[in-house]
Amino acid sequence: MQVYFNALANCLGHAGRRIGACVIDLLYPPDCALCGVRLHGHHSLCEACAGDLPRIVEPFCQTCGMTYQGIIDHAFECPNCSGLSFAFEFARPAMHKDTGTLDLIHQLKYQRSLHLAHELGKLAAESFQNDPRLAIALAEKWPLIPVPLHRSRLIHRHFNQAEEIALGISHQTGLPVIPALRRTRDTGTQTRLSRKQRMKNLQGSFEISKAGENLIGKNPHGVVLIDDVLTTGSTVNECAKTLSREGIRKVVVVTVMRG
Ligand SMILES: [Zn+2]
Ligand SMILES: [Zn+2]
């Protein structure tokens, strides 16, 4: 019972719009979100399923985390990234594109299984332990900045999955979550657009929020952008541009999955 009280206390600690989804989570039996086995305690994945999800390990592209199929023993940049310049230093997805991870992300976004954000945040937080490039973010307590949703989508979904995942990462790392960005317009779904079309579509679609202005006033050395999936990197690049323009010196990206 204590577990449920803790979970309820956690849920109620966040914005009121999340409460409905929270109660739904608490009413359903706590089965593993992937295999359905009955769980004890406040978990959404059994140990076997969590362990089986494929992590990205070296060697991978130092810019986007894409892995290399073959033998390579040095840091490399993949063909998608070579010759391109990004406003972020690097993006580090934790997981490969895989049906299990994708299923969890879809359950979170489209079935409003909010409890999965904690589990996905835990998976994404593994990058902070495994990637030495993120040690500075931990040491200097860089804030986690979720990629924002436009207000119209937020009304529909009730929560921003990137913010919920960031809260999960924060729980593991102790880094603060600061919603420093705002979307100025709805850029629609980008799945059918090429990289070039995405970049054009996203241009000028983010601005600094009130919380972001406070953050910039403190002159942080760096920040960590958080999103669920990294596909072409266009969205996080536009976010990074917006932050760099305001004087943030280093922007790195952490996502749950490489799309
Ligand atoms: Zn399972
Ligand atoms: Zn790459």
- Provide the residue ranges of all domains of the chain, joining segments of one domain with +: 54-258
The burial of 239, by beta-carbon neighbours within 10 Å (0-12 exposed, 13-18 middle, 19 or more buried), is given as buried
pLDDT at 224 over 90: yes
> Cβ–Cβ contacts within 10 Å for residue 19, how many?
14
Cα(160) to centroid(ligand 1), Å: 25
Query: What is the model's pLDDT at position 18?
Result: 52
Mean pLDDT, range 113-130, rounded to an integer: 95
Cα(126) to centroid(ligand 1), Å: 19
Cα(52) to centroid(ligand 1), Å: 9
Of all ligands present, the nearest one to the C-alpha of 44 is 1
Cα(154) to centroid(ligand 2), Å: 30
First to last CA, the chain: 38
Cα(63) to centroid(ligand 1), Å: 32
* Angle formed at CA 182 by CA 180 and CA 188, multiple of 5 degrees: 140
Beta bridge partners of 67: 60
* Angle formed at CA 176 by CA 218 and CA 19, multiple of 5 degrees: 130
Radius of gyration of the chain (CA): 18
Of all ligands present, the nearest one to the C-alpha of 56 is 2
The residue with greater pLDDT, 11 or 113, is 113
Look at residues 76, 64, 3 and name the one whose alpha carbon lies nearest to residue 39.
3
Query: pLDDT over 70 for what percent of the chain?
Result: 86
Of all ligands present, the nearest one to the C-alpha of 79 is 2
- The Cα–Cα gap between 207 and 196 comes to 21
**What is the per-residue pLDDT across 155-189, written as a single tens digit (0 to 9) for each?**
888 899 999 999 999 999 999 999 999 999 888 88
Query: What is the model's pLDDT at position 170?
Result: 98
Residue type, 8: L
Cα(129) to centroid(ligand 2), Å: 21
What are the helix (H) ranges across the chain? 2-12, 19-27, 47-52, 99-110, 115-130, 135-139, 151-157, 161-173, 195-202, 210-217, 234-245
Helix axes 99-110, 115-130, angle to 10 degrees: 140
Cα(91) to centroid(ligand 2), Å: 9
Look at residues 168, 121, 144 and name the one whose alpha carbon lies nearest to residue 222.
144
Query: What is the model's pLDDT at position 79?
Result: 86
CA distances in angstroms from 239 to 16, 75, 141, 169, 202, listed in the order given: 27, 26, 20, 19, 9
pLDDT band at 193 (very low <50, low <70, confident <90, very high): confident
pLDDT band at 41 (very low <50, low <70, confident <90, very high): confident
**What is the per-residue pLDDT across 48-87, written as a single tens digit (0 to 9) for each?**
999 999 999 988 999 999 987 777 666 678 888 988 999 9
Cα(44) to centroid(ligand 1), Å: 8
Beta bridge partners of 71: none
Cβ(22)–Cβ(50) below 8 Å: no
Helix/strand/coil (H, E, C) string of 137-178? HHHCCCCEEECCCCHHHHHHHCCCHHHHHHHHHHHHHCCCEC
pLDDT at 217 over 60: yes
pLDDT band at 142 (very low <50, low <70, confident <90, very high): very high
pLDDT band at 6 (very low <50, low <70, confident <90, very high): very low
